[in-house]
Amino acid sequence: MRRRKKQEWEAFLEELKEALQKMNITYRETGRIRSEGALCSVRGRDILIVNRFLHPMDKAELLRREVKGRDIENIYLKPEVREFLVG
């Protein structure tokens, strides 16, 4: 994948958040955790909790790691987003 500037990562992260919505995963950022974050289940709902102080590229990488292996075959995603999540 090509190199991106911080602003480009921020825009791409927004596209990834839209993809999460299609997968029924809620995205939350907080500064109250010491780790990068993780995907967890709260009262039956999947929530991706992310450390808000991370660089947008690191947030995107965390998102990719946490949703890896999920079935996204029947979900429409922009080709660049799909490639990022699958690759």
Mean pLDDT, rounded, for 10-28: 97
pLDDT at residue 2, rounded to an integer: 59
Identify the residue with better confidence: 72 or 1.
Answer: 72
Q: Which residues are within 8 A (CB) of 27 and not within 5 positions of it... i.e. 6 or more apart?
A: 17, 20, 21, 47, 48, 50, 63
For tokens 């109250």, the residue is 32
CA–CA distance, 32 with 23 (Å, rounded to integer): 25
Residue 65, phi then psi, degrees to nearest 5: -60, -40
Task: Give yes or no for residue 1 having a pLDDT over 60.
Answer: no
CA–CA distance, 43 with 18 (Å, rounded to integer): 22
Task: Give yes or no for residue 9 having a pLDDT over 90.
Answer: yes
Model confidence, pTM: 0.90
Note the pLDDT tens digit of each residue in 21-71: 999 999 999 999 999 999 999 999 999 999 999 999 999 999 999 999 999
